[in-house]
Amino acid sequence: MRLRLQAFLGGLLLCVAVAGNATADDKRTAVLDFQRDVFPIFEAKCLRCHGEKKRDGKLDMRTLDALLKGGVTSPAIRPGNAQKSLLIELLHYNEMPPKKETPRVTKEELELLRRWINAMPVSSASSPQ
């Protein structure tokens, strides 16, 4: 009887562990949404300089279309290619937000932005070249 109880509890622990990992994997692979997942980062850390009242570098970060259009230099994002996205480059090298500004973009937020851009279909790139 004791052996059966141990086997049952072992199996139960295994199921809980697998379910916990599945939940973590689901969060990593869940479809990221601009309004729900991305915009709050921009709102907290970018829109004071790239929003409605002020648009440094002529960049507006309030909409996906505006990010695809970009500012003075180029589009801020390249759908399907975070590595070639100016936004990611500037955030990665801590060029933006400017060093005197807080709060800074965290590593987790940067990774979320990378995943969001990489998950975009390349066909959504309606920006001029």
Query: pLDDT digit string (tens) for 50-105?
Result: 999 999 999 999 999 999 999 999 999 999 999 999 999 999 999 999 989 899 99
Contact residues for 38 (Cβ-Cβ < 8 A; gap 6+): 32, 112, 113, 116
The alpha carbon dihedral of 96, 101, 107, 113 has a sign of: negative
Residue 97's alpha-carbon distances to 17, 24, 49, 70, 105, in angstroms, are 39, 29, 9, 16, 8
Residue with tokens 């309030």: 62
What does the pLDDT read at residue 30? 78
Residue with tokens 């973009």: 105
Query: pLDDT digit string (tens) for 3-59?
Result: 664 555 555 555 555 555 544 445 555 799 999 999 999 999 999 999 999 999 999
